[in-house]
Amino acid sequence: QVQLVESGGGLVQAGGSLRLSCAASGRTFSRYAMGWFRQAPGKEREFVAAISGGGTITTYTEPVKGRFTNSRDNAKNTVYLQMNSLKPEDTAVYYCAFGVYYSGSQKAHEYDYWGQGTQVTVSS
């Protein structure tokens, strides 16, 4: 069983920054990819970013490339999502997810544990 605890969401003005954190416990953290997904009101959950178990490979959805940075500290069993130049369209509940494999994936079904979600609201 894996537990994921997210933190760092909040309200920010457009152009501002937030850093999300997700602390994991219950499994050897460095062996598995971690992903970030988000869900805006009335929309389906969508992939945001993923990072491989060792932290050397990251992938991003196109709308966040160059603005978001996904990183991990395996000594602390924690993954981070640094979000800069935030836009109103980034407003959503953000979820971290624990991967089934070492390599990251954009597919939600390749993650088997999910955090509780943290709200990010960007005002214009």
pLDDT digits (tens, 9 = 90+) for 38-94: 999 999 999 999 999 999 999 999 999 999 999 999 999 999 999 999 999 999 999
Three-state DSSP at 74 gives: coil
Evaluate if residue 104 carries a pLDDT over 90.
no
Band of residue 100 on the pLDDT scale cut at 50, 70, 90? confident
Task: Count CA within 13 A, CB hemisphere, residue 124.
Answer: 2
Q: Which residue has the tokens 């996904």?
A: 70
